Each structure stands twice: as C-alpha cells, then as structure tokens.
C-alpha cells in the first residue's frame, strides 16, 4: 500500500458490523478502505470464537462464527474495498478540504471523505481465572478455537454469560461437561440456558473454582459452594474459563468525540459529534441500544446511507432496494 491510500469511506473496524458497512457502501457505489488492527477480518468473532454457534442473526437458524465472517467477506468481495488489516488507526485529522486523514501506528495514512467507526469493544483481553494461571496452556484456555480437540474429554466450563453457556451447550454431547457459575442465575440467552439445563452437562451454581490440580497438566478441580462453603472435587482434562473480557478502545476515545461509558455517542443517523464521522456497532451508544450483531448490521446501513449524503448532498438517504438494482440490470420494467 502507498503511504497515503484514498477512499470515499474509511471503515475503522473489520468485525461483522464493519464488513456489512463496507458492503453497504459498495452498494452505494462508494470506494471503501476497511481498517483493522487485527491481521484478519471478523474482529472478536475470528479472534475468540470462530467455531462457536451464533443463533441470533437474521436468516441463520444457527451459524458458526467462522462461517458468518466468511459470508460477510464474500458479500464485500464484488465491490471496491481495500482491506487494510494489521494496521492500527491512531489518529483522525480534519483536512482543509473537508476530508479526513487517518494515521496508522506504522506511519502510513489514509485519506477519506467520510468515516464510519465500527471498532466494537476495541482490543480485548480475557478475564483470568485467579487460581488457574499456572495451568494456562496446560489444560486451561480462555478461547476454544477447535471444539473437536475437546471431544471425549472431561471439560470444566467456568462462567455464566453467553460464551460459557454456548460452549457448554456445544460441547455437552461430545464431551463430559461440568458448568460452574458463581451466581444462581445466568446472563446468557434463555434458550441456551434451557438447552444446557435439559442436557447431560452437570451444572453447579453459586459455586467458584477454588483450585486446579494436576502435574504436567490439569487433571481436576476443587469447587467451593459460596452459600454453604462445601468443597467438591471434580475430574477434568480441560478447563474453559469464559469469564468475559477487559476491553480497551485504544486511541479512538481521544479523537474528539462525545463519549459516555467509554462509548461514542451517536444520534439517530449514527452521526458522532464530529461532522462527517459516523459510528455503528458496539463502539457506539444511544438511549436504549441493545448490543447484538443484528443491531450493528442495521446501524451500519444507517451510517453508510447518511455518509453517502455527506459525500454527495444531492443524493438520497434512502438507496432503494437491492432488488430494484437487479431488476434494472435485467432491463425489466415494473
């Protein structure tokens, strides 16, 4: 890539929301530079749970994270999209001509007429299992990249959110699963909770992992019931600690946006407080927002359609339907 790439729209963040934003900009005839600090598209999905099944994306009763990302990349492919992966955006400057310059950590730069920030939660690190760090890489993991490797094993899953319950559900029919959660209720989707509770997994609530045991690798765990103090020993060959993540939005919050709770504040058009800069997905906030991939897709379309008008004030915010374009290409009158 040259020192200064040029695009109509810069999309900062190549997770699902960013990929859909790039696609939608292509549908509007705009050139796109899709930027991400990670070396591959897909954001958190590709990095953390490529094999996890996602059930709340419209049109997919169930889809693995890897397959969803693959489909989104394929959707982008026909359009003028330059993938700038492994490039961290560290500054966003206004140019004298009303355009923007995005500077990268490696010294390169990108010029764009509008910017859509879709950086999700930013960089992330797993919340650690306090008693288990000595076993990291020796049976303890924070991410499951290949569930087939756990087939037939005794797997201890720790956590009560979507990731923990998703893994417990996905593994309980191929492995001997024990789920441990420190509270008496779960934060995960009700359907997934019901699937786990109805399945063969053993579930311990109001319970924490007091100790992991083993020689060269983990072979068991001591559990402590918070309410009674009772200790229970369980055998396990693998431990999946799905305790959530500590997010770091990086330099984005220093780019002059209005911010609330470490999120970029947007209006109903997904506009930030900087004219010409929009935000979509989990990096943004507004009253009543629900943090779902499906929500991010809608926000991406809204952001791009308003960015298109920013680039060409004579354009319409409503782009028409994709089926209209197909009919026009076929020469059919309706």
What pLDDT, on a 0 to 100 scale, did the predictor assign at position 334?
Answer: 31
The two tokens of residue 327 are 């009919």
Architecture of domain 128-243: 3-Layer(bba) Sandwich (3.50)
216 among the known binding-site residues?
A: no
**CA 140 to CA 150: how far, in whole Å?**
12
232 among the known binding-site residues?
A: no
| Assigned superfamily of 4-124+246-330 | FAD/NAD(P)-binding domain (3.50.50.60)
What pLDDT, on a 0 to 100 scale, did the predictor assign at position 322?
Answer: 65
Domain limits, the chain: 4-124+246-330, 128-243
Residues 6+ apart with CB under 8 A from 6: 31, 110, 111, 112
The two tokens of residue 116 are 């859509």
Question: pLDDT tens digits for the chain (334 residues)?
Answer: 445 789 999 999 999 999 999 999 999 999 999 999 888 898 888 877 777 888 889 999 999 888 999 999 999 999 989 999 989 999 999 999 999 999 999 999 999 999 999 998 777 778 899 888 899 999 999 888 788 899 999 999 999 998 899 899 999 999 999 999 999 999 988 999 999 999 999 999 999 999 999 999 999 999 999 999 999 999 999 999 999 877 777 888 899 999 999 999 999 999 999 999 999 999 999 999 999 999 999 999 999 999 999 999 999 998 877 666 544 444 443 3
CB of 161 closer than 8 Å to CB of 66: no
What pLDDT, on a 0 to 100 scale, did the predictor assign at position 311?
Answer: 96
314 among the known binding-site residues?
A: no
49 among the known binding-site residues?
A: yes
89 among the known binding-site residues?
A: yes
What pLDDT, on a 0 to 100 scale, did the predictor assign at position 250?
Answer: 80
What pLDDT, on a 0 to 100 scale, did the predictor assign at position 295?
Answer: 97
56 among the known binding-site residues?
A: no
Q: Structure pTM?
A: 0.76
Q: Do domains 4-124+246-330 and 128-243 have the same CATH topology?
A: yes
What pLDDT, on a 0 to 100 scale, did the predictor assign at position 154?
Answer: 97
The two tokens of residue 3 are 């020192």
What pLDDT, on a 0 to 100 scale, did the predictor assign at position 51?
Answer: 76
What pLDDT, on a 0 to 100 scale, did the predictor assign at position 2?
Answer: 47
Residue 328, helix vs strand vs coil: helix
**CA 303 to CA 297: how far, in whole Å?**
10
DSSP 219-284: EEEEEEETTT--EEEEE-SEEEE---EEEE-GGGGGSS--EETTEEE--TT-B-SSTTEEE-GGGE
DSSP 153-175: SEEEEE-SSHHHHHHHHHHTTTS
207 among the known binding-site residues?
A: no
What pLDDT, on a 0 to 100 scale, did the predictor assign at position 331?
Answer: 43
118 among the known binding-site residues?
A: no
């Amino acid at each position: 890539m040259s020192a200064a790439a040029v695009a109509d729209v810069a999309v900062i963040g190549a997770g699902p929301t960013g990929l859909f934003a790039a696609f939608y900009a292509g549908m509007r005839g705009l050139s796109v530079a899709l930027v991400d600090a990670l070396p591959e598209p897909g954001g958190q999905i590709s990095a953390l749970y490529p094999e996890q099944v996602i059930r709340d994306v419209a049109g997919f009763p169930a889809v693995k994270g890897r397959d969803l990302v693959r489909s989104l990349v394929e959707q982008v492919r026909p359009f003028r999209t330059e993938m700038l992966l492994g490039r961290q955006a560290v500054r966003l400057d206004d140019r004298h001509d009303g355009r923007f310059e995005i500077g990268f950590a490696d010294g390169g730069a990108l010029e764009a007429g509008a910017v859509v920030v879709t950086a999700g939660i930013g960089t992330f690190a797993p919340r650690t299992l306090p008693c288990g760090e000595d076993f990291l890489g020796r049976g303890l993991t924070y991410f499951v990249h290949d569930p087939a490797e756990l087939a037939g094993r005794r797997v201890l899953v720790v956590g009560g959110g979507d990731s923990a319950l998703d893994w417990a559900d996905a593994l309980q029919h191929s492995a001997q699963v024990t789920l441990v959660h420190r509270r008496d209720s779960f934060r995960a989707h009700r359907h997934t909770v019901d699937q786990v509770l109805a399945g063969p997994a053993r579930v311990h609530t109001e319970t924490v992992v007091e100790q992991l045991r083993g020689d060269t690798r983990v072979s068991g765990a001591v559990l402590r019931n918070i309410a009674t103090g009772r200790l229970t020993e369980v055998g396990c060959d693998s431990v999946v600690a799905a305790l959530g993540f500590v997010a770091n939005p990086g330099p984005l919050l220093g780019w002059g946006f209005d911010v609330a709770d470490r999120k970029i504040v947007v209006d109903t058009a997904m506009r930030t407080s900087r004219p010409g800069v929009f935000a979509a997905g989990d990096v943004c906030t507004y009253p009543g927002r629900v943090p779902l991939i499906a929500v991010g897709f809608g926000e991406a379309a809204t952001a791009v359609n308003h960015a298109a008008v920013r680039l060409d004030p004579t354009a319409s915010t409503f782009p028409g339907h994709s089926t209209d374009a197909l009919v026009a290409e076929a020469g059919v009158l309706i």
